Structure 1
Amino acid sequence: MSARFWDPDGARYGIPTYPLRWAPQGLATRRQLRADGLRPAGQDVAAQLMWRYPRGLAVAYLYRVDLARPVRPMTPGRWRAHEAMMRARRLCPLCARDAGYVIRTSVGACEPCAKRFGLAA
């Protein structure tokens, strides 16, 4: 355990802080909540996890599981909006074709156009 990130009362970091994998029971990240079919439901961050990795410092916020609510179901209108958003992310701005996959923002074009115009990394 890294004592550097052990601050359960929040005196050092402002909110309770724990090293990676040391969070107490009853707290979960957004991804963990989502995996259980839950969402934070507007609650404030209850604590955080902190750890070092080669490029710096990482933080993951924790939420109380007992205050989480079930994920709202997808309605037909939400599905339509989601499909429209994804369609826009698949449309190549150079050839105006649906690439069939989400175009990488770092390249900004479908793979054939990226190769043709020398945009591929």
Structure 2
Amino acid sequence: MYEHGTAAAHLLTRRQLRASGLRPGGHDPVALLRCRRCAYRPLRQCTRPAYLYDSRLALPRRTPTLAQEEALDRAMAARQTCTTCRTRQPYCLPRADRRCTACATGADLAAAA
């Protein structure tokens, strides 16, 4: 277990591996990193530990296939398409009704009148 800022340079978190273009490659974490907040209380058990992976054992990230990218695009289109006006928005719509802001406020105003 390492304190915040004391881990060796080759030990990285998952986010750091991803930023470097790597993945754990099936290897388990080799160490734990205590958060900065818990470093001030050495006898206390850390509430937010981070797992550290050895970057020397990491493998390059895999690139998704064209079929996988198409499937992800279809899934995002389902989350971003308004059920009323059928236009695709640049953001995910609420799960409750899947309506864009214009359709939701227009229907609410019409119902109130």
What's the TM-score once normalised by structure 1's chain length?
A: 0.62
Distance across 2 between alignment mates of 1:19 and 1:94? 53
Shift of 1:112: 3.9
- SS in structure 2 of the partner of residue 62 of structure 1: strand
CA RMSD, 1 decimal? 3.1
More contact order relative to length (CA 8 Å, sep ≥ 6): 2
Report how far residue 79 of structure 1 moved: 1.1
**Please, which of 22, 34, 43 is the counterpart of residue 6 of structure 2?**
22
**Number of aligned residues:** 99
Q: TM-score, normalised by structure 2?
A: 0.65
Task: Give the match's secondary structure for 1:48.
Answer: strand
Identity across matched positions, percent: 39
Which residue number corresponds to residue 82 of structure 1?
A: 72
Distance 1:19 1:96 in 2: 52
Residue 50 of structure 2 is matched in structure 1 by 60
Distance apart, 1:101 and its partner CA? 1.4
Structure with the bigger percentage of strand: 1
- Write out aligned runs for 1:34-113 (5 A): 34-51=18-35, 52=37, 57-92=47-82, 97-103=87-93, 110-112=100-102
Higher helix residue share: 2
